[in-house]
Structure 1
Amino acid sequence: KHHLIPGGLQYVVAVLPALPIVGLFIAMGRYLVEEPDEYVRMLRVREMLWAMGFTLSCATIWGFLDNFGLVGHVDGYWIVVLWYFGQGIGSIANKLTLGASTC
């Protein structure tokens, strides 16, 4: 491969697109800490737990299927998309089980 960017600068350029996503997660964490309404905070935490469980389960299953050559490799940045989809599942679960969601 021909590299247009020399040496260690490649790492910096490769990480740059991830920084806004990292910023989103930091903002979500700060929101949880600063949310004064305990009920709303609990709803958000439940959504995030659903997102985490969904994402980790999917990534683990896909990883083993990938190791056996049964599915194609997926780039790691799709994990964030999966996580936000899982958060939507959590919001639906909150609506169905508690009658409320943050959406």
Structure 2
Amino acid sequence: MTQRTYKDAKRRYHTVFWPLMGLYMTVVISGSAYMGFSGNDTLWLKAALGIGMGLPMVGVLFVMVRFFEEADEYTRLLHFRSFAYATVLTVGAVALFGALQMFKAIGPIEVFWFVPVFFLAYGLIYRVLGGQDCL
């Protein structure tokens, strides 16, 4: 079995991450511009843009987990713990805001905003737990 290094794992991560982010940004910018300039806001276009934005984010999460699995033991533990705590905070926030909305204590909140909350929580928790480098 071939020994994989942290450097190799990071290179493989970036090889997939950046094209996914490029696809995400292309969909966001071109889709928004097209809808704005053409006035075409049909349901199928909205659905296509939503899927085009959502799937790269799912891909990024899978690529992150693959990186964690390929990294050395210390890095793997640090990232998985950060990922787990960020997930707990984000899902907890979704549950809390969902319950508040159900009882009409607050108005609607766009679910999309929980994605950046997750990534922010993940990054901050990673630093608090002692992480030194970014993916």
Aligned to 2:116: 81
Contact 2:68 2:75 in 1 (8 A): no
- Between Structure 1 and Structure 2, the one with more helix by share is 2
Aligned to 1:68: 103
Aligned to 2:59: 23
Tell me the CA shift for residue 13 of structure 1. 3.1
- 2 CA distance for matches of 1:6 and 1:92? 43
- The amino acid of 1:77's aligned partner reads F
Structure 1 residue ranges (4+ consecutive) displaced by more than 3 angstroms after TM superposition: 3-10
Aligned to 2:131: 101
What stretches of structure 1 of length at least 5 have no aligned partner?
A: 95-99
TM-score (norm: length of structure 2): 0.60
Aligned Cα root-mean-square deviation (Å): 2.1
* DSSP-derived class of the 1:31 partner: helix
Count of residue pairs the alignment pairs up: 95
Q: Percent identity?
A: 24
Aligned to 1:91: 126
Q: Deviations over 1:37-61 (max 9, x none)?
A: 1011100011001101100111111
**Equivalent residue for 1:4, pick from 40, 47, 62:** 40
What stretches of structure 2 of length at least 5 have no aligned partner?
A: 1-38
- The amino acid of 2:61's aligned partner reads F
